[in-house]
Amino acid sequence: MSESSVTILLVRHGRTPWNVEGRIQGRTDIELDEQGHLDAVLAAELLRAHAPLRVVSSPLRRAAVTAERIADALDLPSPALDADLTEQGFGIAEGMLWPEFESRFPDGHVPGAESKLDLVARAHRALHAHAVAIDPGGVLVAVSHGALINAVVKRACRRDLSDYPGAAANGSVTRLAWRAGADDPAAAFAFVERVVPLTEPA
């Protein structure tokens, strides 16, 4: 990693009841379930070795509580909340089970839903704003949501989609390298790896 770069660790929030049911959450504010709180603790253990300097988060409760648990575990300041890290808005599809969504919207187009282009643009805006506040060579943790993380990573893998790791699991940690001074905001982000925490032993 160059001196002008920052490591960004994207964490997907812990599990919620709607994740278990297979419902589209979007901007609906769903709480973590018991496993979701454990997901946050396990993610914090993965993050510890990276010695992050700061935690930022979507303001939706499932992300914000995950971020709070991580910050507490790592003895970091309370997470800063950023609306640009909120999940993609799915409009009338929120609350639907995925099979119903696929049946009603086979082309993926939902009237009134946020576009992927708008989603990625605001995600890049948020991550850039927080990365520039970190000392070069430092580490930032950003807690967000599946659709946002997937969209950012797919954009970062645009030159070689064989690197794309697929959908982010609850509690997973996706490492990006952010480089200052890129002409194209998207070109500032490079995918490095994704790590999924081990579940608690039985």
Domains along the sequence of the chain with CATH: 5-195 (3.40.50.1240)
Per-block mean pLDDT, blocks of 10 residues, the chain (202 long): 79 98 97 97 95 97 98 98 98 96 92 94 96 94 97 85 84 94 83 80 37
Residue 147: phi and psi, rounded to 5, are -65, -40
Marked catalytic residue, from 37, 87, 109, 145: 87
Instruction: Examine the residue annotation and report whether 87 is marked as an active-site residue of this protein.
Output: yes
DSSP reduced 3-state for 81: strand
Host H or E run for residue 11: strand 5-12
Question: Token pair of 28, please?
Answer: 């609906």
Residue 201: per-residue pLDDT: 39
Residue tagged active-site, from 13, 124, 130, 145: 13
Rounded to 5 degrees, φ, ψ at 17 are -60, -35
Please give the pLDDT value at position 159. Answer: 63
Cβ–Cβ under 8 Å, residues 145 and 27: no
